[in-house]
Structure 1
Amino acid sequence: MDSLLSSATVIAGVTAAIHAFVGGPEVLPPLHRARVDRLVTATHELCWHGVTATLALMAAGLAFAWARGGEAALIVPFAVAALSVLFGGIALVLGVSRFGTPFAMPQWVLFFPLALVCALRAAGVVVRAGDLFAWMSGGILTALAALHVYWGLGGAWPGDARHDKVEIVVGLPKGSRFPSLGLCLLVAFLLLSSAALVLGQRYGRGAPAALLRLGAWAAALVLGARGLGGFFEARLRPATRALPYHRMNRLVYSPLSLALAAMVAGATLD
């Protein structure tokens, strides 16, 4: 199996889906409610749907290259890498220049890894699936740990003018207290420990590697439980249905947890 192309296809598909089904409902309705000229609204819609179509074509092109192989497996990843750097760079520059933080427009978090994977494939680099799963899951877990530290130190993203971050991240009503710095640091420590377990069991040797592998399986089980449980959380916390957390939990948080569980398991099995 071409691990780089298959991974790039999945990342591109997830990026396109998030743009269409998460970003669309967040961006387009406020635009429709705004009192601006219809031509301006239609122009914004053209740009938005054009990006959606481009992302879908990127995913489809990578899937075609994965199935076809040959020159397509070199040319298509190169083109997707270039587009990903462009999209990610624009998001990063806009986030810093307009909002003062790169997390205001976090699309680069998906685009830059996609560009890296595609660039490696275009260069003809061969990577074992287990190594790819280990580094991808370790990188994502480390990024999530950094995000929790950011929240603990008072970072406001993904809050905006309509919703506080506690409504989006925790599922509590506006005005509720966000988890303390100590709790955020504890979660960050657990995420970093999981990343270390995944990488350690992959590259460690001897008896400690067996213990690390056991720890990695435990991390995979916890992540899988979080992912599956997230789809039923609203039954235990009905009040979350009225908050943006409910939608984000079903479309982002739970699928991401399941994807991480699968990657950790893949890194441990291979």
Structure 2
Amino acid sequence: MDRRRAAEHELCWHGITATLALMAVGLLLAWVSGGQAALIVPGAVAALSVLFGSIALALGVARFRTPFAMPQWALFFPLAILCALRAGGVEVRWGDVFAWTSSVALAALAAVHVYWGLGGAWPGDARHEKVEIVVGLPKGSPFPSAGPCLVVAFLLASSAALVLAQRYGRDASPALLRLGAWAVALALGARGVGGLLEARLRPTTRALPYHRMNRLVYSPLSLALAATVVGAVLG
């Protein structure tokens, strides 16, 4: 029975992977061919993205009582918006895509920090406390209090607003807004590079789940966000 269940899970996993690949290929072919396909395919992808995002959000809230337990919706919903705009005939430029992608991601991270500041336990589980996963301190160490969490949330939310402002509010101090967006990209890039080297400065983190998360999630995400902010500035 366990083998059958594992096989069923694997089928679902690879089925979703194949669906995502088809969505990407479909968007690429629709963009190349143009015509009606350039409107129909993005509409279908938008519908699938809303469906996937809604399932992830519902499962996170129903099973774990927090929307951040399955944060895939943070990627699917922006994709749905962009595809819906394209299906509606609205021309979307790469700079707009980068600006909205980075801003939504930064706003989502700000919400996560607010959640932690209010005492949320995720991503802690039965094996590890969140301080071992998020901060890189041993079990039993105090997690940052509400004050620092809310300060980081404010900085992330301000960065999200700044990226959009430099893109769409250039009538008000465009040079200053552009400089601020470059500062956001630089800070995110520094976090990404520093995270990859952090184990040398804090070797004690190697024994904690933070080390793996830092290499596979935190640092790559920071570098990816830095790249999208640069794309928003230059696009």
Q: CA–CA distance in 2 between the matches of 1:220 and 1:162?
A: 35
Deviation at 1:183, TM superposition (A): 0.8
- From 67, 80, 86, the equivalent of 1:121 is 86
Pair 1:220 & 2:185 matched:
yes
Which whole-Å CA distance do the structure 1 matches of 2:48 and 2:196 have between them? Answer: 33
Match of 1:11 in 2: none
Q: How does 1:16-27 map to 2 (within 5 A)?
A: none
SS at match of 1:54: helix
1:50 corresponding residue in structure 2:
15
Separation in structure 1 between the aligned mates of residue 219 and residue 134 of structure 2, nearest angstrom: 12
Q: CA–CA distance in 2 between the matches of 1:172 and 1:233?
A: 13
Question: Could you say which residue in structure 2 is the equivalent of 1:148?
Answer: 113
**Partner of residue 102, structure 2:** 137
Choose which of 84, 91, 94 in structure 1 pairs with 2:59. 94
Give, in angstroms, the shift of residue 126 of structure 1: 0.4
Distance in 2, Cα, partners of 1:124 & 1:206: 27
For 2:68, what is the secondary structure of its paired residue?
Answer: helix
CA gap of 1:255–1:71, structure 2 versus 1, over 3 A, is farther
Deviates more, 1:137-146 or 1:66-75: 66-75
Q: Which amino acid aligns with 2:123?
A: P
Distance (Å, rounded) in 2 between the aligned partners of 1:63 and 1:242:
43
CA RMSD after TM alignment:
2.1
CA distance in 2 between counterparts of 1:206 and 1:109 reads 30
Pick closer, same or farther for the CA change 1:201–1:234 going to 2, 3 Å. Answer: same
The aligned length equals 235
> In structure 2, what is the Cα distance between the partners aligned to 1:228 and 1:67?
36
- Matched residue type, 2:84: A
In structure 2, C-alpha distance between the alignment counterparts of 1:123 and 1:206, rounded to whole Å: 28
* CA pair 175-52 structure 1, distance change in 2 beyond 3 A: farther
Partner of 1:65: 30
Measure the CA separation in 1 of the matches of 2:152 and 2:124. 20
SS at structure 2 position matched to 1:232: helix
Q: Distance in 1 between matches of 2:172 and 2:38?
A: 40
The alpha-carbon deviation at position 74 of structure 1 amounts to 2.6
Q: Distance in 1 between matches of 2:220 and 2:69?
A: 22
**Deviation by residue 1:148-206 (Cα, 9 ceiling, x = unmatched):** 11111111112222222222211222222111111111111211222232222223345
How far did residue 221 of structure 1 move? 0.8
User: Does the 8 A contact of 2:78 with 2:104 survive in 1?
Assistant: no
Q: Which runs of 5+ in 2 are unaligned?
A: none
Length-normalised TM-score, structure 2: 0.89
Does 2:214 match 1:252?
no
| Pairing 1:180–2:152 present | no
Deviations 1:110-153 (A, max 9, x none): 11112111222222210233233223222221221111111111
Q: Which amino acid aligns with 1:44?
A: H
CA change 1:205–1:154 in 2 (3 A) is same
**8 A contact 2:132–2:210 mirrored in 1:** yes
Q: Quote the sequence identity (%).
A: 79
1:208-252 CA-partner distances (Å, limit 9, x unpaired): 222222111111111111122222222222222232222222222
On the 8 A contact 2:82/2:97 being kept in 1, the answer is no
Aligned mates of 1:37, 1:111 — CA distance in 2: 31
TM-score, normalization: structure 1?
0.78
Q: One-letter code of the match for 2:46?
A: A
Distance in 1 of aligned mates of 2:138 and 2:68: 22
Unaligned runs of 5+ in 1: 1-35
| Cα shift at 1:67 | 4.1
